[in-house]
Structure 1
Amino acid sequence: METIDIIQPKNLVYKKPDLMNDNDMHYCPGCSHGVVHKLVAEVIEEMGLADKAVGISPVGCAVFIYNYIDIDWQEAAHGRAPALATAIKRLWPDRLVFTYQGDGDLACIGTAETIHALNRGENITIIFINNAIYGMTGGQMAPTTLLGMPTATCPTGRQADIHGYPLKITEIAAHLQGTAYVTRQSVHTVAAIRKAKKAIRKAFENSMENKGSNLVEIVSTCSSGWKMTPAESNKWMEENMFPFYPLGDMKDSSKDNK
């Protein structure tokens, strides 16, 4: 049989960001974290801020971002990343300071720190990975778990009369006076990945220009916690998560001022 070499044009070959090290990714197949890590690294590189970037990693699956992107990192207690980010940015106002948090960390134990940092207009960016479940600790119900969605702690599905309603942090943030840019994106397709990257860049630029606080939510999958294959998770997210957590910008003060 004849062998044909397939040569890919150079401009289509993926180049790993220089800021990402060679550590093997430990995330489950289909997890959104790895894709978002790549976007964060690319944006920091392209902005030329590798030496001025300080990331805050909390507790949960999101904590491991420090193991893959070679910038300065601080680890915060569970939910306290926005408070730590506030201190760092106020001490070093010339730095790019951002947090990288999951929904259990940000929207549950860290609700107070998140809301008040955003409302104060701290010049930081909060990157919020929302997969509607506690991924690291066994798939328990999170504040963002959808009604009817089964988890380890609500195996028959979340019920409003017992567990309350899912918390829409991004919609709340959009109504706060201190926020400059609030958006909800995803990374389930190439087009979505491009939009998410632009959103992260805009948030980082706002932070460096002292325009106020920024929140970038990424609606994500958790194949292990959802007990689905990666393909099934993507489909389930599109059919169930997106209607409740619609994608797009919720607030953009740069447009509001025009």
Structure 2
Amino acid sequence: MNAEFNGIISPENLVYKKPELMNEVPMHYCPGCSHGVVHKLIGEVIEEMEMEEKTVGVSPVGCAVFAYRYLDIDWQEAAHGRAPAVATGIKRLWPDRLVFTYQGDGDLACIGTAETIHALNRGENIVIIFINNAIYGMTGGQMAPTTLLGQKTATCPYGRDAELHGYPIKITEIAAQLEGTCYVTRQSVESVASIRSAKRAIRKAFEASMAGKGSSLVEIVSTCSSGWKLSPVKANEWMKNNMFPFYPKGDLKDKTSE
């Protein structure tokens, strides 16, 4: 992603240099998982903004709980779903810090719905990075609030049924309607073009936070090969064919220029 080609393709030009903030620790994520890519993007943006010593990440419970092992910044652990509340306290105490949460869909859109909605509505100058893979990945593949209709999980083995389980929740669309949000976007990281777009979105959200423009939500539509019981390649195909039509990508709200 950072390679300088200068019109010449060589092995040296094709080597990706990972962010210096990334620790030399083997990742525990499953093959094909989107988390590792997003971690690297966050690390790149923090370094480019020269905020290494002034960034605080907040991770609650879920697949993202060990994010502190991989990014060498200050971290605070939060109870399940409570990351936006913890981030609110940190940002109010240290307004000069770049404060973000890193949350999955079960954590953010179910257990922490109240904390998420109210923090965004208050316009707290924090960034919420929302990994949406439509399933509880860490705890056994149960149905999440974002699980699609007809999608099979451990707790809806015949597929999600609207009459029985309700409808999938579009938390990002809800966030876009709140007065306190300045930037709300939905991205993905399944291709080079998507990765570049996601990085731009994270950078814009971080900059808006530091400029005191209000809350930002960056959703990353992601795969869960293990939970979906698909290979990484098949999981990407399934995401494109099923997730993107229901969770369309792009900016839903952008008031950063105001």
Deviation of 1:64 (Å): 1.3
Q: Does 1:195 align with 2:233?
A: no
**Deviations 1:78-123 (CA, angstroms, capped at 9, x unpaired):** 0000000000000000000000000000000000000000000000
Counterpart-to-counterpart distance in 2, 1:247 and 1:119: 22
Q: Counterpart amino acid of 2:56?
A: V
CA distance in 1, matches of 2:249, 2:43: 22
Gaps of 5+ in 2: 1-8
From 61, 64, 67, give the equivalent of 2:63. Answer: 61
Partners of 1:132 and 1:217 lie apart in 2 by: 12
Choose the corresponding residue for 1:253, options 252, 255, 258.
Answer: 255
TM-score computed with the length of structure 1 as normaliser:
0.95
1:82 matched residue in structure 2: 84
Q: Where does structure 1 lack aligned partners over 5 or more consecutive residues?
A: 1-6
| 2-structure distance, mates of 1:218, 1:34 | 12
Separation in 2 of the partners of 1:130 and 1:149?
A: 14
TM-score (norm 2): 0.95
Query: Equivalent residue for 2:208?
Result: 206
Cα distance in 2 for residues equivalent to 1:40 and 1:187: 13
Q: CA deviation at 1:13?
A: 1.9
Q: Secondary structure of 1:184's match?
A: strand
**2:185 paired residue number:** 183
**Map of 2:171 onto structure 1:** 169
Distance in 1, matches of 2:124 and 2:11, equals: 44
Cα distance in 1, alignment partners of residues 104 and 239 from structure 2: 16
- Please give the root-mean-square deviation of Cα atoms over the aligned residues, in Å: 0.9
Count of matched residue positions in the alignment of Structure 1 and Structure 2: 250
SS across alignment from 2:184: strand
Alignment of 1:127-166 (within 5 A): 127-166=129-168
Residue 9 of structure 1 deviates from its aligned partner by: 5.2
1:243 and 2:242 aligned: no
What does the per-residue CA deviation read over 1:194-215, in whole Å, with 9 as the maximum and x for residues that have no partner?
Answer: 0000000000000000000000
Kindly indicate whether the alpha-carbon contact (under 8 Å) linking 2:208 and 2:256 is maintained by their aligned counterparts in 1: no
Q: Does residue 104 of structure 1 match 2:127?
A: no
Is 2:213–2:256's contact at 8 Å kept on the other side of the alignment?
no
Measure, in 2, the Cα distance between the counterparts of 1:253 and 1:245.
21
